């Protein structure tokens, strides 16, 4: 599956957006307008004007809808959710070559809100996975104490943890210690 630069940026953005949702042991990653402004700046989201509390509320709403895509049990369910997100954003595909990047497609309408921008561009990035028959690559971490979203871009679809250096390594060390304890035990 070919993943272009702009699609990869949209995937990274949607994963970070979903993972910004509050959980039992983690606070909301978008607690206020300043955090949203920082999110937009860090992800180099273009064509975004002055942000407001309305934008923050709208982004939080679509964040929950994107989380549902990562939890979708099958491609049909994911497609329905993505179609709703993209349709509500009023997509307007257009070619652009801004900020030193070669030609690529933006799916949001000129002047769109940041929520519509994210829904359109990130929704289309996720749609490419459904179209390619790769919806199962949109995953949640399998560590028992972590449910972070990620996109499995490994060749053989074998990635199970959001980060092999944290969640994956922690579980492998725990399993090793359990085996050692059982062997000496």
pTM, rounded to two decimals: 0.87
Length of the chain: 185
Residue 62 has pLDDT above 90, yes or no: yes
* pLDDT of amino acid 28: 94
* Contacts with 176 (C-beta within 8 Å, 6 or more apart), sequence order: none
Report the distance separating Cα 161 and Cα 142, nearest Å.
6
> What average pLDDT score do residues 20-37 get?
92
Give percent of the chain with pLDDT exceeding 90.
60
- Cβ-contact 21, 64 below 8 angstroms: yes
| Cross-strand pairs, 139 | 150
Non-local (6+) Cβ contacts of 27 within 8 A are: none
- DSSP secondary structure code for residue 23 in this structure: B
Q: What is the pLDDT of residue 100?
A: 80
In sequence order, what DSSP letters do the residues of 133-158 get, joined into one string? T-GGGEEE--STT---EEE--STTS-
């Amino acid at each position: 599956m070919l993943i272009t630069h702009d699609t990869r940026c949209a995937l990274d953005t949607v994963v970070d957006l979903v993972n910004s949702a509050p959980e039992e042991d983690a606070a909301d990653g978008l607690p206020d307008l300043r955090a949203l402004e920082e999110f937009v700046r860090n992800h180099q989201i273009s064509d975004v004007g002055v942000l407001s509390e309305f934008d923050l509320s709208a982004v939080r709403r679509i964040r929950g809808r994107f989380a549902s895509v990562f939890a979708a049990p099958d491609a049909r369910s994911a497609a329905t959710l993505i179609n709703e997100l993209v349709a509500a954003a009023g997509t307007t595909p257009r070619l652009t070559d801004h900020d030193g990047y070669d030609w690529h497609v933006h799916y949001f309408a000129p002047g769109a809100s940041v929520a519509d921008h994210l829904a359109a561009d990130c929704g289309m990035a996720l749609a490419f996975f459904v179209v390619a028959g790769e919806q199962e690559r949109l995953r949640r971490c399998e560590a028992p104490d972590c449910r972070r979203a990620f996109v499995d871009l490994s060749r053989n679809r074998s990635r199970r943890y959001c980060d092999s250096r944290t969640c994956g390594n922690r579980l492998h060390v725990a399993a090793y210690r359990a085996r050692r304890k059982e062997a000496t035990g």
